[in-house]
Structure 1
């Protein structure tokens, strides 16, 4: 891919404040293989691992050119958070009887054009991960427009409608059972995945503290074995 069409590592660049994970989940209520449960819909750990692997392969050249690296645990946590929000938004859209706005279809079309040189698995991973954030915003906008119209506002601007949709999604998250496996160390707060400090082991020492930083430390990331980092 050319420099103008390279896939952007959206999970890392976005404000997804997660830390490196990897602890077990003994003693929790999660069934083996479940990364998140969104009111009965599940995201599996297998699907997350497959997405992360294919996504990492998709952006490997970009990371090599940039001279950067990302701990795989950091990336897994970001993916779980994004997929959890997307699943919640999908259920909200079904309840409200709306479809995501045209911005979502346009974003996917642009991503498909940018990833034409990738394998099918890599392209699908980029579309699902990078597209999830756009999907959530597009659903929020559609829901907001509908609700404001029902409340008598016939032509609300996008900012007003989007915020109304954000509020509705947050309310949905509060009213429904949404759980993320503590292994990933995140939770959804105000519609965003944030570091929840939910891991079942407490890191000690400089290396462990570095692993738990909100942004991936490059010196630490590059010190990891190849099997534990992207780039």
Structure 2
């Protein structure tokens, strides 16, 4: 669990995003992420990604260069997942499993202690999204199943509930952040009209960034 908060390791985690199906309205200008009535502006997403990028380059947390597009895609998908999980919990009248707060508090005093407040908050918002979603699913699963199910059974039930919720709701991320859905899974996708030719250019588009090649990208295109 705590390894999730190692900022260098977070850069190698593939983007995860759940998206609703069917015809949904287009995003309004200036909106980066929308989950039903909850919206994240492009400005807020930029602020989060900037703080996360700063954390990736900070002191003990530094672990090699990472392309900006990866940081933006991961930040956008994390916000979408958190919002969907939060709304699902609200419908079931539950809160995240206690394991989430315990893990976050431990990380604040250990892995994230050297970061400033904004950097720490960004890493938790982005890097702990998967933990938050799992904690939400576990709580929802317990409510759905009733009684005293095992953590594994509760998590499985909660995962099904979240997938069903997203299928019935409007969850969108602006395509410019390079997040798309392929055979039920979320992946980073190239939405640029240009074609990457050099190894360095390809490194900027890779789903799993090569830190060494990413370091050769212009400073404006990378963190670290």
TM class, shorter-length: 0.7 to 0.9
Query: For 1:102, which of 87, 98, 102 is the aligned residue?
Result: 98
The structural deviation recorded for 1:15 is 3.1
Query: What TM-score does the superposition give when structure 1 sets the normalisation length?
Result: 0.80
Which runs of 5 or more residues in structure 1 are unaligned? 19-27
Q: TM-score, normalised by structure 2?
A: 0.83
Matched, 1:159 2:182: no
2:46 corresponding residue in structure 1: 49
The farther-off stretch of 186-195 and 123-132 is 186-195
Q: Would you say 1:76 and 2:72 are equivalent positions?
A: yes
Q: Is 1:11–1:75's contact at 8 Å kept on the other side of the alignment?
A: no
The question of whether the paired residues in 1 share the 8 Å contact of 2:69 and 2:178 is answered with no
Decide which moves more: 79-88 or 220-229: 220-229
1:113 and 1:87 map into 2 onto residues whose CA distance is 26
Aligned mate of 2:131, from 131, 134, 148: 134
Decide whether aligned partners of structure 1 residues 187 and 90 sit closer, same or farther in structure 2, where only a CA change above 3 A counts. farther
Aligned residues: 211
Q: Give the structure 1 partner of residue 84 of structure 2.
A: 88
Instruction: Name the CA distance, whole Å, in 2 between partners of 1:49 and 1:94.
Output: 27
In structure 2, what is the equivalent of residue 146 of structure 1? 143
1:185-207 CA distance string (max 9 Å, x none): 2135688532355x252524235
3-state SS of the aligned residue for 2:72? helix
Cα distance between partner residues in 2 of 1:219 and 1:116:
27
1:39 corresponds to: 36
Q: Distance in 1 between matches of 2:66 and 2:106?
A: 25
d(CA) in 2 for partners of 1:188, 1:164: 22
Does the CA-based 8 Å contact 2:55-2:61 persist in structure 1? no
Matches within 5 A, 1:1-231: 7-9=6-8, 11-16=10-15, 29-60=26-57, 61-62=59-60, 64=62, 66=63, 68-114=64-110, 115-149=112-146, 154-187=147-180, 193-196=186-189, 199=191, 201-206=193-198, 208-231=201-224
> SS at 1:88's partner residue?
helix
Q: What is the CA-CA distance between 1:208 and the residue it aligns to?
A: 4.6
Distance 2:29 2:127 in 1: 27
The root-mean-square deviation of aligned C-alpha atoms, in Å, is 2.6
Contact 1:17/1:214 (CA < 8 Å) preserved in 2? Answer: no
The answer to whether the 8 Å contact 1:144/1:163 transfers is yes
Q: Which runs of 5+ in 2 are unaligned?
A: 18-24
